[in-house]
């Protein structure tokens, strides 16, 4: 009897399966492990993670690495994701500032238009003008309200106020007249004095309506049609805000800078296709299908997509040690999305949601990195290491250990960076495909569309349901159920949306996000990536490219554990009368360990 190990190096995790080959040439599965992948998949940095996984799995059966006769590893192709944005016009307002501010407690209500004046100059202001008063942090709310009330009495027309401290409500409560007040403006010293501005605070429960409308801004500042075109990014960035300030340019000058998205050149073995990123994800994917087998993808120089493609190849070149011209893109997957783009001239980090195309690109290198991994493992462990097979084929073999499956059988292995699919017919012939786009792309979409700029938080939103803390003793979950607690919750969670991770709660401290929006973005991201890519992969491996020729699909890999994905894919595949569900590898592993198990099984042919 001898011990062999199957090792699946994934983008996020490394899985190990240990089995014994008996004297009668039969297999006995003994143990398994799941550890974090070290380094980028398909590089020598993976060796540490492989050793960790082997050590953990062998420890469960009181064995050491020296007891192994053979280690079989998968062909691990690196997969990386990058984003290329559609053409965006950035508006730079010369010599001015714009505040698309949204403090949690603005004061007053309404729209005020006037000339900006410092509060210390207000008592001496002319009576024939309307003013917006700027109140720096050294002027407290009592002093500020006293000066403004005195101005009212002296017929000085104060229309609104911009405050540096968090004191809008305190000032408003002491005024004899209600005016819109925006506070928490950190860089108040950058606001130019003596120019015209507009301040708007929405009524309770509503959002601003005038300053979020380009024609509303045009009306206030008497803009020409040409000038109105340039304030569109400003108005878009203010949609949904409770309050805002827009300050007119002293000279009315604007600068326009176009950032081209650029063209993609998709090079196939028999034909090539050029497609503009501006045309969107659907047009890009049509070109991908038209080309067929992809040999490489290039991006137009000095464009967003050109820089993205260049960066991906440069990154893989430095990681693998190969020349950049030897690094080829094997597949791309495009998804339409929106991303927050910073509006130039803002003082509070204002962003405008702009259309974008996110691309997942699978970078293909030669066999050298995998050979280096095998050689380094062999040197360090003293055990023979063999590069044993394509991931999708190995996953299909492992999936056959799921109870209730039979041939013909298709598998979907949805990982962090790629989606693999394979089908085994009644004769045992396997057809497989390896495609870009999976879990990491979904995380990227959630992060960009919710404007979080926090990949960890976006990953947790992807993997877990959410709820809202409605009191210190109960939460309302996203399925509308109410969960009660015997002990009070952390007070900082009160009124917050929280991620329900096992027995823990992770608060989301972003004021403008609702539970409904988070759920919608999360599900749409999963549908656009997991479901669409699953159909793309299965169609390519189906007999005659006809999905109805596939009777059974087993979902394997980490993403098959997701609380939404299997049901989403099952629902869509049911339209083709296909039975689909999570795998249960060797009756004990669930959807995990399919590739590692298949690597061991393939040893016996």
Residue-wise pLDDT tens digits, 106-159: 899 999 999 999 999 999 999 889 999 999 999 999 999 999 999 999 999 999
Q: How confident is the model at residue 292 (pLDDT cuts 50, 70, 90)?
A: confident
Each residue's pLDDT tens digit, 115-127: 999 999 999 999 8
Which residue matches tokens 């995790």? 13
**Across residues 485-510, what is the average pLDDT?**
90
- In the prediction, which pLDDT does 258 show? 56
pLDDT score of 53 more than 90? yes
**Which segment of 158-167, 346-355, 364-373, 523-532 scores lowest on mean pLDDT?**
346-355
Please tell me whether residues 328 and 247 are part of one structural domain: no
Each residue's pLDDT tens digit, 394-449: 988 999 999 988 888 899 988 777 888 999 888 878 888 888 888 888 998 999 88
**Across residues 478-500, what is the average pLDDT?**
92
Q: How confident is the model at residue 232 (pLDDT cuts 50, 70, 90)?
A: confident
pLDDT score of 454 more than 70? yes
User: CA 553, 558, 560: angle at the middle one, nearest 5?
Assistant: 35
Please tell me whether residues 284 and 305 are part of one structural domain: yes
Does 466 fall in a domain? Answer: no
Q: How confident is the model at residue 97 (pLDDT cuts 50, 70, 90)?
A: very low
* Summary mean pLDDT of the chain: 86
Between 25 and 175, where is the model more confident?
175
Q: How confident is the model at residue 234 (pLDDT cuts 50, 70, 90)?
A: confident
Each residue's pLDDT tens digit, 238-254: 888 888 888 876 654 44
What burial letters (b/e) apply to 349-379, b meaning 16+ CB within 10 Å?
ebbbbbbbbbbbbbbbbeeebbebbbebbee
**Which segment of 81-85, 282-286, 327-331 scores lowest on mean pLDDT?**
81-85
Domain count along the chain? 3
Of 364, 397, 414, the one marking the end of a domain is 364
The DSSP line for 250-279 is SS--EEEEEE---EEEEEESS-EEEEEGGG
Backbone angles phi, psi at 541, to 5 degrees: -100, -10
| pTM for this prediction | 0.74
- In the prediction, which pLDDT does 202 show? 92
Of 347, 364, 381, the one marking the end of a domain is 364
Helix/strand/coil for 409? strand
- In the prediction, which pLDDT does 430 show? 85
Does 103 fall in a domain? Answer: yes
Q: CA separation (Å) from 550 to 63, 91, 209, 287, 541?
A: 42, 52, 53, 26, 9
Please tell me whether residues 105 and 233 are part of one structural domain: yes
CA contacts within 13 A on the Cβ side of 77:
25
Q: How confident is the model at residue 78 (pLDDT cuts 50, 70, 90)?
A: low
Highest mean pLDDT among 90-99, 180-189, 356-365, 579-588 belongs to 579-588
Q: What is the CATH number of the domain that holds 134?
A: 3.50.30.70
Strand 497-501 vs strand 482-484: parallel, antiparallel, or unpaired? unpaired
**Which segment of 187-191, 391-395, 474-478 scores lowest on mean pLDDT?**
187-191
Residue 333's domain comprises 81-87+260-364
Please tell me whether residues 244 and 306 are part of one structural domain: no
Of 251, 274, 299, the one marking the end of a domain is 251
Please tell me whether residues 112 and 246 are part of one structural domain: yes
Q: What is the CATH number of the domain that holds 355?
A: 3.90.470.30
Does 573 fall in a domain? Answer: no
Please tell me whether residues 267 and 236 are part of one structural domain: no
Please tell me whether residues 60 and 180 are part of one structural domain: no
CB atoms within 10 A of CB 176: 9
Does 305 fall in a domain? Answer: yes
Between 83 and 562, where is the model more confident?
562
Nearest Cα residue to 240 out of 198, 212, 262, 269: 212
Q: What is the CATH number of the domain that holds 32?
A: 3.30.420.40
% the chain with pLDDT above 70: 90
- In the prediction, which pLDDT does 555 show? 93
Does 585 fall in a domain? Answer: no
**Across residues 292-298, what is the average pLDDT?**
91
SS3 content of the chain, % helix, strand, coil (to 5): 35, 30, 35
Helix/strand/coil for 497? strand
Does 40 fall in a domain? Answer: yes
**Across residues 354-361, what is the average pLDDT?**
80
Which residue matches tokens 């292995």? 413
Between 77 and 174, where is the model more confident?
174
**Which segment of 176-180, 356-360, 381-385 scores lowest on mean pLDDT?**
356-360
Please tell me whether residues 226 and 158 are part of one structural domain: yes
Please tell me whether residues 325 and 384 are part of one structural domain: no
Highest mean pLDDT among 261-275, 311-325, 341-355 belongs to 261-275
- In the prediction, which pLDDT does 98 show? 53
**Which segment of 79-83, 149-153, 492-496 scores lowest on mean pLDDT?**
79-83
Each residue's pLDDT tens digit, 516-551: 999 999 999 999 999 999 999 999 898 888 888 888
Burial of 544 (0-12, 13-18, 19+ CB in 10 A): exposed
Please tell me whether residues 71 and 125 are part of one structural domain: no
Does 359 fall in a domain? Answer: yes
Please tell me whether residues 177 and 34 are part of one structural domain: no
Q: How confident is the model at residue 95 (pLDDT cuts 50, 70, 90)?
A: very low
Please tell me whether residues 205 and 234 are part of one structural domain: yes
Total residue count of the chain as it appears in this document: 605
Backbone angles phi, psi at 201, to 5 degrees: -125, 125
Does 208 fall in a domain? Answer: yes
Burial of 256 (0-12, 13-18, 19+ CB in 10 A): exposed
Burial of 312 (0-12, 13-18, 19+ CB in 10 A): buried
- In the prediction, which pLDDT does 102 show? 64
**Which segment of 23-32, 85-94, 156-165, 263-272 scores lowest on mean pLDDT?**
85-94
């Amino acid at each position: 009897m001898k011990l062999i190990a199957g090792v699946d190096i994934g983008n996020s995790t490394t899985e190990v399966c240990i089995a014994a080959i008996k004297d009668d040439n039969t297999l006995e599965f003994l143990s398994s492990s799941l550890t974090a992948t070290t380094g980028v998949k398909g590089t020598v940095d993976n060796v540490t993670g492989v050793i960790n996984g082997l050590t953990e799995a062998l420890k469960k059966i009181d064995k050491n690495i020296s007891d192994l006769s053979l280690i079989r590893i998968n062909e691990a192709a690196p997969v990386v994701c990058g984003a290329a944005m559609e053409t965006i016009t950035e508006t730079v307002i010369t010599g001015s500032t714009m505040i698309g501010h949204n403090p949690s407690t603005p004061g007053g209500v309404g729209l005020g238009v006037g000339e900006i004046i410092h509060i210390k100059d207000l008592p001496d202001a002319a009576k024939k003008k309307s003013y917006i008063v700027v109140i720096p942090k050294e002027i407290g709310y009592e002093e500020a309200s006293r000066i403004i009330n005195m101005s009212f009495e002296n017929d000085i027309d104060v229309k609104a106020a911009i405050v540096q401290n968090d004191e809008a409500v305190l000032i408003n409560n002491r005024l004899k007249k209600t005016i819109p007040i925006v506070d928490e403006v950190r860089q108040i010293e950058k606001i130019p004095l003596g120019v015209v501005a507009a301040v708007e605070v929405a009524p309770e429960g509503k959002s601003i309506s005038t300053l979020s409308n380009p024609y509303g801004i045009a009306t206030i500042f008497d803009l020409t049609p040409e000038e109105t075109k340039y304030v569109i990014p400003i108005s878009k960035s203010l949609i949904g805000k409770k309050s805002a300030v827009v300050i007119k340019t002293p000279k009315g000058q604007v600068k326009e800078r176009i950032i081209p998205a650029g063209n993609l050149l998709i090079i196939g073995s028999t034909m090539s296709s050029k497609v503009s990123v501006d045309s969107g994800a659907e047009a890009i994917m049509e070109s991908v299908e038209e080309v067929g087998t992809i040999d490489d993808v290039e991006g137009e120089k000095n464009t967003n997509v050109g820089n993205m493609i260049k960066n991906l190849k440069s990154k893989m070149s430095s990681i693998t040690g190969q020349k950049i011209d030897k690094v080829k893109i094997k597949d791309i997957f495009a998804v339409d999305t929106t991303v927050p783009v910073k509006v130039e001239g803002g003082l509070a980090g204002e962003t405008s949601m702009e259309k974008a195309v996110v691309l997942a690109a699978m970078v293909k290198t030669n066999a050298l990195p995998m050979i280096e991994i095998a050689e380094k493992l062999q040197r360090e462990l003293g055990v023979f290491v063999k590069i044993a097979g394509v991931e999708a084929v190995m996953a299909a073999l492992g999936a056959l250990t799921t109870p209730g499956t039979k041939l013909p059988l298709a598998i979907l292995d949805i990982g962090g960076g790629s989606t693999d699919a394979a089908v085994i017919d009644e004769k045992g012939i396997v057809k497989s495909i390896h495609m870009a786009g999976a879990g990491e792309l979904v995380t990227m979409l959630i992060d960009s569309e919710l404007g979080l700029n926090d990949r960890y938080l976006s990953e947790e939103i992807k993997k877990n349901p959410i709820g809202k803390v409605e009191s210190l003793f109960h939460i309302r979950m996203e399925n509308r159920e109410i969960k009660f607690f015997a002990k009070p919750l952390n007070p900082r969670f009160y009124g917050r949306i929280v991620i329900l991770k096992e027995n823990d709660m992770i608060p989301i401290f972003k004021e403008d996000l609702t539970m409904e929006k988070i759920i919608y973005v999360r599900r749409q991201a999963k549908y656009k990536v997991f479901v669409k890519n699953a159909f793309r992969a299965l169609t390519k491996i189906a007999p005659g490219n006809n999905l109805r020729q596939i009777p059974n699909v087993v979902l394997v890999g980490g993403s098959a554990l997701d609380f939404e994905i299997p049901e989403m894919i099952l629902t869509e595949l049911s339209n083709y009368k296909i039975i689909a569900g999570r795998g249960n590898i060797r009756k004990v592993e669930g959807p995990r360990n399919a590739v590692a198990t298949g690597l061991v099984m393939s040893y016996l042919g």
